[in-house]
Amino acid sequence: MNIEEYISSGILEAYALGAVSDEERREVECLTSIYPQLAEALHAAQDDVEQLARLESKSPPPVLKASILDAVAQAAAEERADADANTVASADADVEADADASIIQMNAKEDPVKRWPLGWVAAAVIALGMFFANYTLRDYNAELKRDLDQISGELNEIRDQALTQQERLAVLADTSYHRIPMKGVEKSPTSLAMIYWNPTSEQVLLDVRELPKPTEDQQYQLWAIVDGTPTDLGVFDLPEGQEWFEMKSITGAVAFAVTLEPRGGRPEPALEQMYVLGAV
């Protein structure tokens, strides 16, 4: 068994997500009990899923509490400075013998407006802190949601790749499919592709192994040779990570070929732009 190929198929990640059938689950559990390398890879996939769940429990930054306490301490220091200034002013008023008694009494009496400065400042600071905390949490939650969406997209992509791998393995195991290798011609000798054709169902699957990247205004086009005439089986790009394409159905084919054509394809192939060719 090819351990690396099984790991790269994505079925372990699908198992960790619970996105496998009962048969696949039993297969994974059986193989991981036999091969330590598979068991280690499965544990790594499960750890990734658990880490994703833990992202939701993160707390806001601790610097918020410190900033609020610093602001309250500063307000307290300012209040003490105001109180010292009032004390000095009252002492100066007492030594003025010719001052009016009522004025002295007013100067000595605590100013009711200044009685609550620390309370008001603390309340304002706390309110500001709550506003800042809510704003920070909203921003943090938005960032967390973006991260979760990205991870979810990556996991879905892995699951899709796992399904594609399973479909490919099913075709490889199905003896009703003819395997037609298409090798590179003189124009591109290193090019290579494989046709899987079921004459009964007429299904045609294309597995691109090696083809040059086309320009934006070009696409590859697959052809089947039927009764000596090229028949269009559809066009395809080479998106990153995709090698497996389902093309148009055909019957009576004796050969297959791929040419590089203007985007959208042509009704007839440009033979000088042929890259691979294979006979049935």
Q: What is the CATH number of the domain that holds 190?
A: 2.60.40
* Chain-centroid distance, C-alpha 187: 39
Backbone conformation region of residue 206, classed left if phi is above 0, alpha if psi is from -120 to 50, else beta = beta
Res 274: pLDDT: 97
* Whether residue 275 sits in one domain with residue 185: yes
The single-letter DSSP state of residue 267 is: S
CB 278 within 8 A of CB 195: yes
> Within a domain: residue 99?
yes
Range of the domain at 107: 63-130
* Whether residue 205 sits in one domain with residue 154: no
Which of 105, 138, 171 represents a domain boundary (last residue)? 171
CA–CA separation, 141 and 123 (whole Å): 26
> Within a domain: residue 138?
no
Res 140: pLDDT: 66
* Whether residue 159 sits in one domain with residue 99: no
* Residue-wise pLDDT tens digits, 59-75: 555 555 565 556 555 65
Look at residues 183, 227, 229, 231 and name the one whose alpha carbon lies nearest to residue 204.
231
pLDDT averaged over the chain? 76
Domain count, the chain: 3
> Within a domain: residue 206?
yes
* Whether residue 161 sits in one domain with residue 30: yes
CA–CA separation, 223 and 271 (whole Å): 11
Res 226: pLDDT: 96
55: Cβ–Cβ under 8 A, 6 or more apart, which residues? 144, 147, 148
